[in-house]
Amino acid sequence: MRRGTLAAAALLLGAAPLAEALSLVHSERSLYRQVLVYEDQGTRCLCFTRGCVIGRQSCVTLAAPEKLYFEYTQMMMAALFMGPRPQRILVIGLGGGSLPRALEKAVPEAALDVVDIDPAVVRVARQYFNFVPGPRTRVYEEDGRVFVRHALREGRSYDLILLDAYDHEYIPEHLLTREYLFEVKRLLTPGGVVAANTFSSSRLYDSESVTYRAVFGEFYNLKSANRVIIVRNGSLPALALVRQNAASWAPALRNFAVDAADMAARFSTAVDWNERARVLTDQYSPANLLNGR
């Protein structure tokens, strides 16, 4: 692993600099994990492993906290290009709260529900990452799948759902399966959109791809160090419409250092996976065996 600062390190979970480059700001053991906050050269990051040796969950540039630090968060915001302005949004996985903060400002009229299993993460997001939920934002300290099931029973629905739940290594296996994704799909309004943060290179890539395809049909892939899968409850909008919508969002997203035209150019439906891979199910989801890159 190369030495370097946090800002120069690769921007995906699993790639981080050596511990001696970092200054520890906060450490606590939650019910689920070690929760740590580090700083380095004006950047503050949330990590779940000592020295961020496996990866970083969230980062903020202290001098420009509005900027979306990770490229994958910028790609997640590109889900807004898929259709009308969302009125109800669900974010599963808080981290430092970068995405909810950006969504509150970009779509201030929307009601926003944010879910994270770990109360310690919620506390750290508030104390160290300036996550101050607005009047239209509700925060739930709950497992993401449990929340989805409760929401279905309560008859809730969402126009936009962002899936960004990680443990210290990868997405928890019960949040990867066909059954879970069908539950998420049932929460969508007609034409509603899901954006999911995953890895652009992993032994789960093929299985993840065929699982999303089995539930949602064709989807858009956006890739950098991470990939973001963007699906719709219904047929996908044409790329020409995606680019048109991106242009209308460009002024608002510029506030978060998002280049809307660049994000729109990444939308692709090209199949770059083995279509005969096994679908992930509640009976077969060996994430602990397959997620190494």
What's the pLDDT score for residue 208? 96
Confidence of residue 291 (pLDDT cuts 50, 70, 90): low
H-assigned helices in the chain: 71-77, 98-106, 119-128, 144-153, 178-186, 205-216, 239-254, 260-265, 287-290
Q: Which residue has the tokens 């998002």?
A: 258
In contact, 187 and 152? CB cutoff 8 Å: yes
For residue 91, the enclosing domain spans 71-286
Query: Can you give the pLDDT at residue 18?
Result: 37
Indicate the angle between helix axes 178-186 and 144-153, nearest 10 degrees.
Answer: 40
9 lies in a domain? Answer: no
The model's confidence at residue 8, banded by pLDDT at 50, 70 and 90, is: very low
Question: Nearest-CA neighbor of 14 among 290, 227, 292?
Answer: 292
Question: Is residue 2, in this structure, part of any structural domain at all?
Answer: no
Range list of β-strands (E), the chain = 23-29, 34-40, 43-47, 56-61, 88-92, 111-116, 137-141, 158-163, 188-199, 220-223, 226-232
Q: What is the pLDDT of residue 12?
A: 43
Instruction: Assign 144 a pLDDT band (cuts: 50, 70, 90).
Output: very high
Q: How far is CA 238 from CA 41, 52, 69, 245, 253, in A?
A: 42, 40, 29, 11, 21
Q: Which pLDDT belongs to residue 52?
A: 87
79 belongs to a structural domain: yes
With beta carbons less than 8 A apart as the criterion, state whether 213 and 219 touch: yes
Residue 5 has pLDDT above 90, yes or no: no
Q: How far apart are CA 119 and CA 141, in angstroms?
A: 6
pLDDT at 17: 42
Total number of domains constituting the chain:
1
Q: pTM of the full predicted structure?
A: 0.91
Q: Kindly state whether residue 267 falls inside one of the protein's structural domains.
A: yes
The residues assigned a catalytic role are: 164
60 within some domain: no
The per-residue pLDDT of the chain, averaged, comes to 90
The CATH number of the domain holding residue 261 is 3.40.50.150
- Cα–Cα distance for residue pair 43/256, rounded to 1 Å: 16
What would the pLDDT profile of 39-94 be if each residue is shown by its tens digit?
999 999 999 989 888 778 999 999 999 999 999 999 999 999 999 999 999 999 99
Quick: pLDDT tens for 236-283.
Answer: 999 999 999 999 999 999 999 999 999 999 999 999 999 999 999 999
